[in-house]
């Protein structure tokens, strides 16, 4: 009887000695879980919806909606530094086809940036044909900047994605800027095309 009581008391003591370790382990696991959740939210992409509800765009972490932008832009965002992106649509009635739209934009860029010659590429956006215009020129504020304009066709409209960054950041940001057009998803509301309007002006300076 006495031996049994001693063994029971010893067992209880050992359990009490291990409890702080268990508590520390649990607190450690909880802290790790909190860090993982925080990091996931800190590095999560940003999704912006267009003002007319026809599309949404997934942007890299750190990007946000820009307060100032072209009034015709359905989406206008910035990384908080020099990079910007604007998304517009053009009624198909304004142009014969996508190539005609791209030619119009090319001529406008040539007039806007007299010191630059736009590079024209046939690319794909969402597996569909698209045209990309790349140019480095002097912006309205007198500083040089790089622009990537991607044009593609949706159901009833042409979509223009104009991304830009300062000359100093353009080289490192170029791939990211070029990929922004692939981050657009047309929604069911895009079935309705906008009324035909005069073609949009070239992108504003970053």
Which tens digits make up the pLDDT trace of 21-72? Answer: 565 666 555 555 444 443 333 446 899 999 999 999 999 999 999 976 667 8
Angle at 91 between CA 84 and CA 69, to 5 degrees: 25
Which pLDDT score, from 0 to 100, does residue 35 have? Answer: 46
Q: Which two tokens stand for residue 55?
A: 């599309």
Express each pLDDT in 110-128 by its tens digit: 888 877 889 999 999 999 9
- Using a cut of 0.85, tell me whether the model's pTM lies above it: no
- Nearest Cα neighbor of 94 from 184, 197, 15 is 197
**Mean per-residue pLDDT of the chain:** 79
Report the C-alpha gap between 64 and 71 in whole angstroms. Answer: 17
The residues that bridge with 134 in the sheet, in sequence order, are 119, 148
Return the structure tokens found at 17: 């000695």
Coil, strand or helix at 146 = strand
Q: What angle do CA 132, 153, 68 make, to 5 degrees?
A: 70
Distance CA 79, CA 166 (A): 12
Q: Which of 60-69, 77-86, 161-170 has the lowest mean pLDDT?
A: 60-69
- Tell me: pLDDT of 186 over 80: yes
């Amino acid at each position: 009887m006495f031996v049994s009581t001693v063994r029971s008391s010893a067992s209880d003591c050992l359990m009490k000695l291990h409890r702080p370790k268990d508590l520390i382990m649990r607190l450690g696991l909880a802290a790790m879980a909190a860090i993982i959740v925080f990091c996931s939210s800190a590095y999560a992409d940003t999704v912006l919806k267009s003002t007319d509800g026809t599309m949404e765009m997934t942007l890299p972490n750190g990007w946000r909606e820009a307060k100032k932008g072209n009034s015709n832009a359905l989406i206008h965002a910035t990384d908080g530094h020099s990079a910007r992106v604007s998304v517009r649509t053009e009624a198909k009635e304004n142009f014969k086809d996508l190539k005609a739209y791209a030619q119009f934009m090319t001529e406008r860029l040539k007039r806007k940036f007299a010191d630059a010659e736009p590079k024209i590429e046939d690319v794909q956006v969402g597996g569909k044909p698209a045209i990309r215009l790349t140019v480095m020129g002097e912006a309205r504020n007198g500083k040089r900047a790089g622009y990537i304009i991607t044009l593609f066709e949706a159901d009833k409209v042409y979509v223009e994605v104009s991304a830009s960054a300062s000359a100093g950041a353009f080289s490192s940001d170029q791939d990211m800027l070029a990929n922004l057009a692939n981050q657009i998803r047309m929604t069911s509301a895009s079935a309705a095309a906008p009324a035909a309007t005069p073609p949009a002006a070239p992108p504003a300076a970053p």
